[in-house]
Structure 1
Amino acid sequence: MFGGVGGRQLAGLAVVAAAGGLVVFGPGGGSADATAACAGRPAKVVGFGTGELRLYKGTGYACAVTVAKNPGARRQMAVAVQARGGAPAGDSGSYTRMAGPVTVHSGSRCVRATGSIAGSAAETGWVC
Structure 2
Amino acid sequence: MGKDARGVPGALRRRLAVVLAVLTAAGVLALAAPGAAQAASAPCAGRKVRTLSFPTGSVLVYRSGDWLCAYTVQRNPGTERKISVSLQVRGHVAVRKTRKHSRRSETVRVHTGHRPVRVKGSVGRGEGSWSWARY
- Which letter maps to 2:130? T
Partner of 1:125: 131
- Which letter maps to 2:124? A
| RMSD (CA atoms) | 1.5
| Greater than 3 Å deviation, 4+ residue runs | none
Question: Alpha-carbon deviations, 1:49-106, whole Å to 9, x = none?
Answer: 1111112222111111110111112111111111111111111011110112100111
Which 5+ residue runs of structure 2 have no aligned equivalent? 1-40
Partner of 1:88: 94
Partner of 1:99: 105
As a proportion of its length, which structure holds more strand?
A: 1
Size of the aligned set, in residue pairs, is 94
Q: How does 1:1-128 map to 2 (within 5 A)?
A: 36-128=42-134
As a proportion of its length, which structure holds more helix?
A: 2
Rounded Cα–Cα distance in structure 2 between residues aligned with 1:53 and 1:109: 19
Judged with a 3 Å threshold, the aligned counterparts in structure 2 of structure 1 residues 86 and 107 are, in CA distance, closer, same or farther, namely same
Which 5+ residue runs of structure 1 have no aligned equivalent? 1-34
The structure having more radius of gyration, on CA atoms, is 2
Partner of 2:36: none
Kept in 1: contact 2:99–2:106 (CA 8 A): no
Kept in 1: contact 2:98–2:105 (CA 8 A): yes
Using CA pairs below 8 Å that are at least 6 residues apart, which structure has the higher relative contact order?
Answer: 1
Bigger drift between 37-46 and 107-116 goes to 37-46
The alignment's TM-score, normalised by the length of structure 2, stands at 0.64
The alignment's TM-score, normalised by the length of structure 1, stands at 0.67
Determine helix, strand or coil for the equivalent of 2:63: strand
- Which letter maps to 2:105? A
